[in-house]
Amino acid sequence: MDKTTEFILRKRMHGLYLSRQCGDITRLSRELLGLHCWFHRNVPFSALIRGAGISGWKTALTKTWLYRGTLHGVVFEDLPLLLALHPGESYLRDFLGGERMETIAAEVVRLMEDGVYSRAEMRRIFAPEYDAQTIEAVFSSWGGIFVYLARQGRVAFRDMTSRDFDLISAEPTLTSDEALPELLSRYFAAYGPATLADAAWFLGFLKDDRKRLSALNLDEFSRLECGRSTYYYVDAGEDSGDIPGLTLLSGFDPLIVSYTERGAVLPPEYRSAVVLKSGICNPTIAVDGKVAGIWNIKKNEPVVTFFEKHPKRLRDAAFELVDDIRRRTAGAI
């Protein structure tokens, strides 16, 4: 690993609390702009790996859709800012038409005001009025109309483990252009060094919108050149520390999924074992900052698999880390 690549990895692992600890899950979520939770147990996994406690985690964070339409556990008070980038976007608009989508959204809100919080119950109520294709799209397991309402700050899951929804009031108070500079600054502070393409990917900008990032004032950030790319970061003047010899990464860990170029952390030969065709990103084991295996907890037992042969002491240490997470999440997830 050349010195520039090593510097980038050290800074990222420091910013993402992989070479230091963050004692509070709400602080962790706030600084990382949300914790990925397509599978809700990845939130306590990610928190414990980074030194945060998980007492009360199910209600400490709010589970909702952000950025690329992915589920995150976020601090409720941050929602108006985090949702400001894409408040009105929905893949349903082309399928239903804007007016019909708004009508259905209003009906869903009215039902929730009357105490209906279940997607399954909504399907049953809407079934006599709409065709099967519309029902499947509107109440899809991928979110459907609830994604649209969530990205307006009007709906979120009842808690981090629930499949039901609640009405909330977290509507964006800024325009997208007003929110973007602060969110970009927070992204580079935690995730930098990173490129503008990385930031655009993380923040959910389509290719045609990425020029909005390059039009911002980038002089506040430190920068370095690597290959043909410019990397931006916030230099807080603190020591980034060393790359840990052994690190657990959660499923959909931000070190892997938050960048367009993943080769420095995820060797290409292991990619298919880590990022499945379904899009699921497995929990992984990193050795000297590079993914070297996967781990999980199945039937309350730790499972550790290295892709290649490693010393027994390393395998034992990885097993102990996973077993510690198993013990600390028992009954909590």
Residue with tokens 């985090």: 82
What's the pLDDT score for residue 8?
A: 96
d(CA 86, CA 104): 20
Distances (CA, A) of 57 to 24, 83, 112, 332: 10, 21, 25, 9
Residues 19 and 241 sit within 8 Å (Cβ to Cβ): yes
For residue 254, report the phi and psi dihedrals to the nearest 5 degrees: -60, -25
Do 167 and 117 contact (CB within 8 A), yes or no? no
Nearest to 90 by CA among 74, 79, 100, 101: 101
Whether the Cβ atoms of residue 324 and residue 295 lie closer than 8 Å to each other: no
Task: Check residue 227 and give its pLDDT.
Answer: 87
Q: Output the six-digit token pair for 43.
A: 């939130």
Q: How far apart are CA 23 and CA 266, in angstroms?
A: 27
227-274 tens-digit pLDDT? 899 999 999 888 899 999 999 999 999 999 999 999 989 999 999 999
Q: Give pTM, 2 decimals.
A: 0.94
Q: What parts of the chain have a pLDDT lower than 50?
A: none
Structure tokens, 54 = 């998980």
> Which residues are 249's β-sheet partners?
284
Contact 230, 4 (CB under 8 A): no
What pLDDT shows up at residue 282?
97
Q: What is the pLDDT of residue 89?
A: 81
Q: Going by C-beta distance under 8 Å and a sequence separation of 6 or more, which residues neighbour residue 68?
A: 201, 204
- Where are the chain's structural domains? 90-150
In this structure, what token pair is assigned to residue 280? 């699921």
